[in-house]
């Protein structure tokens, strides 16, 4: 397990085609040089992904993003409003070399975001080119939201690992495609309402497994089965309460931001006591609750 390294070591590792555990404000990522297909292939190997899903290109700022993707007025308006931050835009590709074919899974589009975490920003800025970074979990497992969990999942494959503390947001970025109509591919902490306030009504992802291929059922899944919308847990179940205290409470006060930040960590903690099941309290559907419920349905094995 690599000990925490500094920014210089992380940049050197990226330049050498190695992988880096990279903190972001959403979840920890496993980063590589987007232009280097061998390095990108290492990511898929480390995650044990059954097939090649397109990865998000992480950039330092909008100027760097405009070098790799084609921005229209709507895309620019969203980037100006929410970057740096937990929003990913899927746009037509502009430079096929800087984000390699393998990183895009051969698509004519590219997913791009400027992360808000200062360590992520500083690494990308010092590296000078985009890095691709999926969540640092092994395929199908909950995304890591602490340094220890990230190292535990994929640290063995990383040449450098940056400790950025616990992730503020705790859920992966919101993904919006701006290819035809604006379309919500993955709900996140930038809410549907916040995006619609900038670009108007969002179309649904018709078949999200097809359009955003990483979003399979049984994503984010702990080992124990997960039961949703539970008001009273059964004996032997670990209970993720909401608006009430408890050892695995998502938020004692019923705060959605706190629940999002705690979700993946609590799923891991609950799993460690080897319960017969993990029962989860009902979570309101609106605002940030849309993203929390999306991840919970996947943890429970339902197609979203």
Residues forming the site for ligand TXA (CB under 6 A) = 24, 26-27, 29, 53-56, 86, 88, 90, 104, 107, 109-111, 115, 133-135, 172-173, 175, 185-186, 211-215
Contacts of residue 114, defined as CB under 8 A and 6 or more positions apart, other chains included, come to 58, 59, 60, 61, 62, 64, 65, 79, 83, 84, 85, 121
Q: At closest approach, how far in Å is the CB of 240 from ligand TXA?
A: 21
Site for Mg ion contains 154 (CB under 5 A): no
Contact 155, 161 (CB under 8 A): yes
Footprint on residues 49-108 left by Mg ion (CB under 5 A): none
* Residue 29: contacted member of ligand TXA, Mg ion, none (CB under 5 to 8 Å, by partner type): ligand TXA
Tokens found for residue 211:
């359009």
Q: How far, in Å, CA of 57 to CA of 101, rounded?
A: 12
Q: At closest approach, how far in Å is the CB of 52 from ligand TXA?
A: 10
> Across the beta sheet with 277-280, what order do the strands follow?
226-227, 277-280, 237-240
Q: At closest approach, how far in Å is the CB of 111 from ligand TXA?
A: 3
Q: Based on CB atoms, which residue is closest to ligand TXA, 85 or 289?
A: 85
Q: At closest approach, how far in Å is the CB of 285 from ligand TXA?
A: 21
Footprint on residues 107-136 left by Mg ion (CB under 5 A): 135
Tokens found for residue 145:
């939201």
Q: Based on CB atoms, which residue is closest to ligand TXA, 55 or 161?
A: 55
Tokens found for residue 295:
């991840």
* Residue 251: contacted member of Mg ion, ligand TXA, none (CB under 5 to 8 Å, by partner type): none
Q: How far, in Å, CA of 216 to CA of 209, rounded?
A: 6
Tokens found for residue 30:
């496993």
Binding site for Mg ion (CB under 5 A): 135
């Amino acid at each position: 397990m690599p000990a925490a390294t500094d920014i210089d070591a992380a940049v050197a590792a990226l330049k050498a085609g190695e992988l880096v555990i990279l903190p972001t404000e959403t979840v920890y990522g496993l980063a590589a040089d987007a232009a280097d297909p061998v390095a990108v292939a290492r990511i898929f190997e480390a995650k044990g992904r059954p097939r090649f899903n397109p990865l998000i290109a992480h950039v330092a700022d909008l100027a760097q993003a405009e070098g790799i993707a084609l921005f229209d007025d709507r895309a620019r308006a969203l980037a100006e409003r929410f970057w740096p931050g937990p929003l990913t835009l899927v746009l037509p590709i502009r430079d096929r070399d800087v984000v390699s074919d393998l990183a895009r899974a051969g698509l004519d589009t590219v997913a791009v975001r400027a992360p808000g975490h200062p360590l992520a920003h500083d690494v990308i800025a010092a590296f000078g080119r985009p890095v691709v970074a999926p969540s640092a979990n092994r395929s199908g497992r909950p995304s890591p939201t602490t340094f220890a969990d990230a190292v535990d999942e994929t640290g063995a494959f990383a040449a450098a690992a940056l400790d950025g503390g616990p992730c503020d947001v705790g859920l992966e970025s919101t993904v919006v495609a701006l290819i035809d109509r604006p379309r919500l591919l993955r709900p996140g902490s930038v809410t549907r309402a916040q995006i619609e306030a900038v670009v108007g009504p969002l179309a649904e992802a018709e078949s999200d497994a097809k359009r955003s291929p990483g979003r399979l059922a049984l994503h984010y899944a702990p080992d124990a089965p997960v039961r949703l919308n539970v008001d009273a847990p059964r004996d032997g179940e670990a209970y993720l309460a909401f608006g009430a205290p408890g050892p695995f409470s998502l938020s004692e006060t019923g705060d959605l931001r706190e629940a999002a930040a705690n979700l993946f960590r609590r799923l891991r903690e609950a799993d460690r006591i080897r319960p017969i099941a993990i029962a989860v309290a009902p979570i309101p559907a609106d605002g940030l609750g849309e993203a929390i419920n999306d991840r919970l349905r996947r943890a429970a094995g339902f197609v979203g």
